[in-house]
Amino acid sequence: MKCPFCGSLDTQVIDSRVNEAGDAIRRRRRCAACDKRFTTWETAELRPPQIVKANGTREDFSETKLREGFRRALHKRPVSTELVDAAVDRIRQRLLTLGEREVPAREVGELVMGELKKLDKIAYIRFASVYKSFQDPDDFREMLRDLEHTPPQGVDDLFE
C-alpha cells in the first residue's frame, strides 16, 4: 500500500480489525520511510451483472428500475414497502450470487414474476400480462388456471 503522505511503497500493517457488521476490515498501517500512520479499509467489491435486453443491448443493473416494475405491478395493492424491499433484495442477492458478468433480462423478469406470485396474485397477473405480451383473453385464462393449481403461501414462505 502506498503511503498517502510520502508516496513510499514500504508500509506495514500494525493492526487489523473486522468491523461490527463483519463485512469490512480496518487496517492501521505505518510507513517505514516517514513513520506516519494511516488507516485503510478492505471490503468485498460485488458488482451486479449487466442486463442483456432482448434486442442485444446491455445496461447496468438498476435497482431503481426493478423497484419501478414492482411499483407499477403493485399499484393500489395492499402490499407493504417492507415486503417489496425484501423481494428486491432477494433478486439483487440472487443476481450477485450467480457470479455472471451478464444476465438476460428475461431471467430478471422471471425472478420478478416469482416474487410477485408470492406477494400478490393480481400484481403477478398485471406484470405477466405485460411481460409475456398477452394477446387475448385465453392468455389470461391460462394464467388463472396455473394460479388455481399453485398452493397458497403464507408470510413465512416469503422469507425462504
pLDDT digits (tens, 9 = 90+) for 104-115: 999 999 999 899
pLDDT for position 158: 44
CA–CA gap between residue 127 and residue 151 (Å, rounded): 20
Please indicate, yes or no, whether residues 89 and 24 belong to a single structural domain of this protein: no
Provide Rg for the chain, Cα atoms: 23
Please indicate, yes or no, whether residues 56 and 91 belong to a single structural domain of this protein: yes
pLDDT band at 147 (very low <50, low <70, confident <90, very high): confident
CA distances from 19 to 34, 43, 153 (A): 28, 10, 37
Does 160 have pLDDT greater than 50? no
Please indicate, yes or no, whether residues 24 and 61 belong to a single structural domain of this protein: no
In a domain, residue 92? The reply is yes
55-104 per-position pLDDT tens digit: 999 999 999 999 999 999 999 999 999 999 999 999 999 999 888 899 99
In a domain, residue 3? The reply is no
Look at the chain and count its residues. Answer: 160
Percentage, residues of the chain above pLDDT 70: 89
Domain range enclosing 27: 11-43
CA–CA gap between residue 46 and residue 48 (Å, rounded): 7
In a domain, residue 5? The reply is no
pLDDT band at 48 (very low <50, low <70, confident <90, very high): confident
What is the average per-residue pLDDT within 27-43?
96
Please indicate, yes or no, whether residues 94 and 145 belong to a single structural domain of this protein: yes
Domain count, the chain: 2
Please indicate, yes or no, whether residues 64 and 139 belong to a single structural domain of this protein: yes
pLDDT band at 122 (very low <50, low <70, confident <90, very high): confident
pLDDT band at 13 (very low <50, low <70, confident <90, very high): very high
pLDDT for position 156: 46
